[in-house]
Amino acid sequence: MPRLTKRLTSLAKKIEDRVYVPFEAIALVKDNANAKFDETIEAHARLGIDPKYTDQQLRTTVKLPHGTGQDVRIAVVTRGEKVAEAKAAGAELAGDEDLVEAIGKGEINFDLLIATPDMMPRVAKLGRVLGPRGLMPNPKAGTVNTDLVSAIKDFKAGKLEFRADRTGIVHVRFGKASFATEDLLDNLKTLQETIDRNKPSGAKGRYWKSLYVTSTMGPSVEVDLSALQDIGREG
């Protein structure tokens, strides 16, 4: 087991062995995010699902109201006039066979890949390259799309695709340490509602096991999920 650095050990001492109400948890994570760069704030949700079964898989998107604070490099595989359309809409890369060939060679100079339906037979052949990185376009995620302008705009504005990993844990970045605590809470609440709304049909028993928030270089803090779910229900 790796040894904690003096910095991380010092920060961890500020965290009590208990669950925190959402606002307090986020404020504590922000306070601990004292690296020399604007740390990313992440949520890690352990769910009571077994993704090896198709009816217990979770893969969807969330539109964070305050964005992620990160620049998303988008590549688009399409053809004809839509190549220029994608570039004009803000895609860093756009092309047809040439881009497919480059990706096949391992040139992954992007964070998100969008494809038009007519190009999916070619993109599907890149499964061994894109699959392990979670970059394979998917209709449910909106990354197989004919409306490239809207898709690129949404993802640039903070729309995220996420999925549960093989152990049933969801890892999602939902802002930066420089964000206001209220804005991070809005984003976290939106994420929680999205996970609840997309509960797999085969999920059995307790759906949420735990929820932690953390920063890139800081220790994690457990969030009181019931308190998070209750936000907005008053009255």
pLDDT of 179 above 50 = yes
Q: Where are the domains of the chain?
A: 6-68+160-230, 74-157
Tokens at 149, concatenated: 């302008």
Helix (H) or strand (E) holding 103: helix 97-104
Which two tokens mark 181?
A: 């605590």
CATH 2.60.120.280 fits 6-68+160-230, yes or no: no
Provide the whole-model pTM. 0.82
Burial track 32-49 (b if 16+ CB lie within 10 A, e otherwise): bbeeeeebbbbbbbebeb
Hey, what CATH class is 74-157 in?
alpha beta
Determine contact, residues 123/131, Cβ cutoff 8 Å: no
- pLDDT tens digit sequence for 62-100: 999 999 998 899 999 999 999 999 999 999 999 999 999
pLDDT (tens digit, 9 = 90+) per residue, 98-123?
Answer: 999 999 999 999 999 999 999 999 99
